[in-house]
Amino acid sequence: MRKNGGGVVINCASILGIVGEPTAYAYNASKGAVVLMTKSLALQYAKDNIRCAAVAPGYVESGMVNREALGEYYDNLVDKHPIGRLGVPEEIAHAVVFIAENEFLTGITLPVDGGYTSQ
C-alpha cells in the first residue's frame, strides 16, 4: 500500500468487541482486540495515507443464525435488536463499501447492528 500511495484496511470485528456477553468472554476478548488493533494501525499508518477501520456486525441471518438452527432462542435474539430483526449479509457489505469509499474515515469501528449496542 505504501508503494501505491495508500489504501484502506477493513477489519471484521463484532458487536461483541464493543459490549460484553457473559458466555462469550474469549470471543469478546478477541474481537475487542480487533477494535483496538484497528485504532492503533490507523494511527501508525495515517502518515502513509493508509486508513484502517473495522465493521462490527450484529447478529446476521446465516446458515448458523436462523430460526431453524436456533429454535426458540431465535426470538430472544431478535428481541435484543431494537430494530426488531436480525441483519442480512448485504447490510454488512454496504457498510464495508461505505468505509472503503469515505476517505476521511480511519480508526473507527462501525457497528451495523440494528441498535444492539445502543442499549
Per the residue annotation, which of 25, 27, 59, 116 is the catalytic one? 27
CB-CB contact of 60 with 93 (8 Å): no
DSSP secondary structure code for residue 51 in this structure: E
d(CA 90, CA 88): 6
* Backbone φ/ψ region at 84: left (φ over 0), alpha (ψ -120 to 50), beta: left
Q: Is 19 exposed, middle or buried (0-12, 13-18, 19+ CB in 10 A)?
A: middle
Active site residue 27: yes
Give the active site residues. 27
